[in-house]
Amino acid sequence: MSTHFLLSAKARSISLREVFCMGEEKAWDLFKQMRWPENNGRPICPRCGCTEAYDIATRRKHKCKACHHQFSVTSGTILASRKMSFTDLLAAIVILVNGAKGISALQLCRDLDCQHKTAFVLAHKLREALAAESKNRTLHGIVEVDGCYVGGHIRPANMAKDRVDRRLAKYQTGKRRVVIVMRERNGKTLTAVTKYENEGIEIIKQRVSSCAIVHADEASHWDELHGYFEVKRINHQQAYSHLGACTNWAESFFSRLRLMVGGQHHHVSPQHLHQYAAHAAWMEDHRRDDNGKLARNVVSSVMAHPVSRIWKGYWQRNI
């Protein structure tokens, strides 16, 4: 029997031991390599583009030789104004990519011995940077689409006589959302969050190539897709897969997302759900990469991602 990929030695190419043994200098070097690969890890002034800078090693900063602007490796990126050490940041990234079903802010704050608020914002900044990878992506070939309701749980009353029909709109909390997934068979994954599943139609029209063959389940709102794509339908009450029609790739994404939300995060607010969904999609798309490659990928995405409008100063605005 072949070994599951995640159990094989190939899947492990970086460890927390290595991260903490490498020390601050080497961790800083790694961030520089990923920020300025075109200059071999040497700083490039973000203000004037000059490729020569003095090092202010004591403060881990640089000063541009041309315009004297002082900057650090994280200036202008989503990690700007960081207080955490580079080793801790790298450790956070390794912990994040090691969690095949994501990682909760509570667990991350315990592992890193930092405040919960710090871990919460850091994890979300990392997720935002990861999601940028698929921002302009269009899907081709065979694309499976489906929707999954998340959140808005209504606790049933203790006494049976007090219980309500939780399916009725008047008892809904307004927090329930649908994660729409579009997934190429053997390929990439895109997600979106909407209030109702039929709102997914517009998104699918925008993100899926008109030449693609779309597979969807029997839900009647998907009927509209027939006007735009070649569509194959599968009735799940009869079979999960029939004559090549199935949405099993979409379902396997939802399986990861449900485990992530149910087992790690427990409660996700509707306004952040799209970040958890994008994280789960990223994990699916990179499930065969070893953890060293995943960690480098995250560092590189983070270094290429601008300051976040949502997460910069989040706790100053949301106390």
**Contact residues for Zn ion, defined by CB under 5 A:** 45, 47-48, 50, 64, 66-67, 69
Q: How many Cα atoms within 13 Å fall on the side-chain side of residue 222? A: 20
Cα 222 to chain centroid, rounded: 26
Beta strands in the chain (DSSP E): 53-56, 61-64, 70-71, 142-150, 177-184, 189-194, 213-217, 230-234, 241-242, 245-246
- Residue 302: CB minimum distance to Zn ion, A: 22
Coil, helix or strand at residue 208: strand
Sign, Cα dihedral of 264, 267, 270, 271: negative
Residue 45 or residue 261: which is nearer to Zn ion going by CB? 45
Residue 16 or residue 67: which is nearer to Zn ion going by CB? 67
- Residue 65: CB minimum distance to Zn ion, A: 8
Tokens for 147? 């929707």
- Residue 80: CB minimum distance to Zn ion, A: 17
- Residue 304: CB minimum distance to Zn ion, A: 19
DSSP state of 51: S
Residue 65 or residue 288: which is nearer to Zn ion going by CB? 65
Residue 46 or residue 270: which is nearer to Zn ion going by CB? 46
Pairing type for strands 230-234 and 213-217 reads parallel
Tokens for 42? 């040497």
- Residue 66: CB minimum distance to Zn ion, A: 5
Residue 69 or residue 221: which is nearer to Zn ion going by CB? 69
